Structure 1
Amino acid sequence: MANGFTDEDDELLAELGVEVETKKQVSRTPREERIIAGFEEIQRFVEEHGRRPQHGEDRDVFERLYAVRLDRISESQECRDLIETLDHQRLLSGAPLALSDDGEELDDDALLDALGIEVAAPAITELKHVRSAAEKKAAEEIANRDRCEDFARFKPLFEQVQKELESGLRETRPFERKSEIEKGKFFILGGQKAYIASVGEVFTQEYGDRDARLRVVFDNGTESNMLMRSLQRALTKDETGRRIIEPNAGPLFSGETIDGDEASGTIYVLRSKSDHPLVAGNRDLVHKIGVTGINVEQRIAGAATHATFLMANVEIVATYELYNINRTRLENLIHRIFEPARLDIEIMDRFGRPVVPKEWFMVPIFAINDAVEKIKDGSIAGFVYDPKQAKLVMHSAQNAT
């Protein structure tokens, strides 16, 4: 029984094809114990996720840590010899060997440094490599993500947010503890966009903090039911953790000028006189919405020869003067709002080439007026046009609950 099994156990294991080695109990150094403990964490990751930990900025910090740790263990002959009998998942099988073993410590600080993650120097009396129960629980909640079965509902939200980031309608800011985590908010954690799909009932933890269970959906098709405080801690510790601010036009323009104001342009709404069946059948709904820095009459001159005007003359339905505004950004904002009602039409230009105009929308004029008023008072953030209701609604309300 030197191996810890009875004779009956040995016989059973032999029948199962499991070799039983008789080894004497050996004492290990603290470093060896640390290496084994680190490898066992990697094994638990593999058991939970069914794969080896992988590198990449899109992975969470713990997976990246395990991936680097596994590489370092694989490269050290000393480490391989130490854990070879423990490697039942064959994680070291076929892994490259280092030409030499310099005996470098395999501590987590060094591994985090290899990941480019700054590590503050601990006090001499501080226990290293020991996480509190709260930290372990938070790490488990973050790591334990499930497949999001209804991800199709959320995918358009992530795509829209990405477009808004690229166009400048949204920005990312560093996460701060005071930052609010609310339903409908977006964050970046471990290189992945995270959407707060729902917030459960708020309760008070035993140490006095208010908390709530969240449903957090990630842009890789996974989700987690982590606690709000756990997400806050993760975003705070992640140096790349960010909050994605809402699209906000700010004080875009005023109906009156004051000394020092400079005219920046005009929002214009046009109606086409095209005889295209789609346009002719929806004459009062089909509108071109644009922003120009020149006189609108000049802008529409020769409309009948330009595909952007549907190769037809147009009439001006409404104009709104702008002052001290970035015209391109404003136009992107308006087009984002009415994206769901963008007209799907192809026109042949004067050279016989197909063109798909992008600035035409099937939307009533009162909805356009509503959007302009919301832009004026700064309340437009998060709104989008819902064709079914023929009005502006909050973006998150239209796509997900």
Structure 2
Amino acid sequence: MSDLDLEELRDELADFAQPEKKGGRSAREERIIAGFEEIQRFVNQHGRAPQHGEERDIFERIYATRLARLRALEECRSLLAPLDQQGLLAGAENAVTAPAEEMDEDELLAELEGAAGATDITDLRHVRTTAEKRAAEEIANRERCEDFDRFRPLFTAVQNDLDSGVRITQPIRKDAGFLKTDIKAGEFFILGGQVAYVAVVGEPFKAPNGESDARLRVVYSNGTESNLLLRSLQRALYKDDVSRRVSEPSAGPLFTSESEADDLASGTIYVLRSQSDNAIVAANRDLVHKIGVTGGDVAKRIANAKLDPTFLLADVEIVATYKLFNISRGKLENLIHRIFDPARLDIEIKDRFGNPVIPREWFLVPLFVIDDAVEKIKDGTITGYVYDPQMAQLVMRKTGGRD
């Protein structure tokens, strides 16, 4: 090295320099390409395109929604056409995106991702980095679960709980001190796109580093299982950027007057009373309530109520609000509307242009019943009830059929 002049030294160091970025793609284009590559990896692994359906795992449903969106957008098709060796974008003119009301929270986020960008909070992309590949190798020795029929009802029940909001998923936060001891038998996680159930935690033993460890039996929603260490599962959960813990049904109240430092404020349930002079509304003003959930300020939400058919083209009064934490706003709103569906107000109004509008969030429900519903949401029992307009109260759902 001492014999090199400055030019030779510069040439020597140039070999280690990072190559300049080519192509000049925007961050949004990079996200679109990364998302498409995930879909391609799925197709390579499974030999088919991802599909919608409740029986599919959460990431396949995300990929299916994303693919439909990419097919529908001309700019995405143009960007991805040179990369589409599998013909995934074919038939774009017939592409159909799953209706928003049939999507769960994760699918709706996937619908927005790529086309509209993503934030740190809603970014659910699963780009397999080198670190994630190493994490996958730690749990790679999965085998077919011979007695999966024993576990299938558990996975079905968990998915139903997630769909109804009885359970939620929470990110695995390494900086919050997620420990091996936090992994217990009977718990569910989302790892590598599959729901993982900790079926057995073996007897603890001393690992070579002196720490306590244990052997696990983990069963996955795709019908496989693995035998791995507590430490290996913890590491895999850390390294998977989109790993989640599935909460218990009785994980605690959804609403509180005071939030903890770690709580993620999700929004507010609001109850409104209309000042409309519509004959039906005027005759039942103390019973007609709009029930909604918003992530913003309620006062701002209703600022232009008299110009919005959703608010019956009239001013409204805020009669109750309930702050919520760590819960999906969309799922909660759907749950509340389903419970009070028997009392949904059947009303049609004309908008400013004379077009008929049927608002869907107004209900003939006393305020004390709404308060009762919130209390049942707090204690986790709400999914067992439905509103009976004749009795003007919440009643237990009938068993033996699906509402």
On whether the aligned pair clears a TM of 0.5, the verdict is no
TM-score of the pair, normalised by structure 1: 0.39
Larger radius of gyration: 1
TM-score of the pair, normalised by structure 2: 0.39
